[in-house]
Amino acid sequence: MSESQKIIEIEVLRYNPESDKEPHREVYKVPFSDDMSVLQGAQYIKDNFDGSLTFRWSCRMAICGSCGMMINGIPKLSCETFLRDYYPNRISIEAMAHFPIEKDLVVDLSGFIEKLESIQPYIIPREARTLEQGEYIQSPAQFNEYIQFTSCINCTLCYAACPQFGLNPDFIGPAAMALLHRYNMDSRDGGAEQRMQLVTSEEGVFNCSAVGYCSEVCPKHVDPGNAVNINKINAAKDYFLRFLSPKGGSK
């Protein structure tokens, strides 16, 4: 370590379910170089100060969506956030907001996984197709309808940005709705009617009050807030169409 080594203070919200009643903050002085991410800062703490510091990470290049955390109160992927941008100020890191803390920076995502499952995230064909009928044909225009919503990496930063999810953890939430919308918009899919029940349910889109911060923090520009709000319109259409057509609307 050279004498000109820069040192940044990283304040971490620690929580050990086996010994702590509630989370507390600990500060670590971390030597860093300009190419070090916040994730590498956390790794430095784990390797040199406290091996029990717990956090999720994998790819280090904003693809896997594992390393999300609150960085100075803002939901970010820690692998693509750099310590140099915060120096010389202290940087605070905390587990993603609105989720229960499992340990240190790790949150309980089981609720989110259940939501992902509930939206039926797969193509539900309109009708049975035989092999002889060949592959589905899709035009670039049809492809453009949904491609944006396929970019989601399930990092759940949008949930950490959504106060309505914080207030009601049952809310299906931005990322799951974006994926639901992705399949509804796919020309090969015919499952929109089945999924509508969830869209209009107590847990559905009307929990959203258009705060819009979810789309702001999304590292992949999925714009999940737009998916939620478009489905408010779809839900309203569905509601009124039910009066006009006995077949229209959800079950």
Partner 1 sequence: MSKRRPYVRPMGGWWKKNPFFVEYMVHEGTALFVAAYAVTLLVGLVRLGQGEAAWNGWLEAMKSPLSIVFHLVLLVAIAYHAITWFKLFPLTMPPMVVNGKRLEPNVVVGGGWTAAVVVALGLLAVVWRIAQ
Q: Site size for partner 1, by CB under 8 A?
A: 31
Distance, in Å, from the CA atom of 234 to the CA atom of 212, rounded to the nearest integer, reads: 19
Please state the closest distance from residue 239 (CB atom) to partner 1, in A. Answer: 17
Whose Cβ is closer to partner 1: residue 58's or residue 209's? 209
Residues of this chain, 167-196, that bind partner 1 according to CB under 8 A:
167
Which of 97, 119, 157, 179 touches partner 1 by CB under 8 A?
97
Name 143's Cβ contacts closer than 8 Å, sequence gap at least 6: none
Instruction: Kindly write out the interface string for residues 204-243 of this chain, putting x where it contacts partner 1 by CB under 8 A and - elsewhere.
Output: -----xxxxx-xx------x-xx--xx-xx----------
H/E stretch holding 158: helix 157-160
Binding track over 101-130 against partner 1, x by CB under 8 A: xx-----x----------------------
Of the candidates 59, 74, 87, the one whose C-alpha atom is nearest the C-alpha of residue 154 is 59
DSSP string, 176-218: HHHHHHHHHT-TTB--HHHHHHHHTSTTSGGG-----HHHHH-
Burial label for 219, CB within 10 Å (0-12, 13-18, 19+), is buried
Residues that bind partner 1 (CB under 8 A): 15, 17-18, 22-23, 73-74, 97-98, 100-102, 108, 141, 163, 166-167, 209-213, 215-216, 223, 225-226, 229-230, 232-233
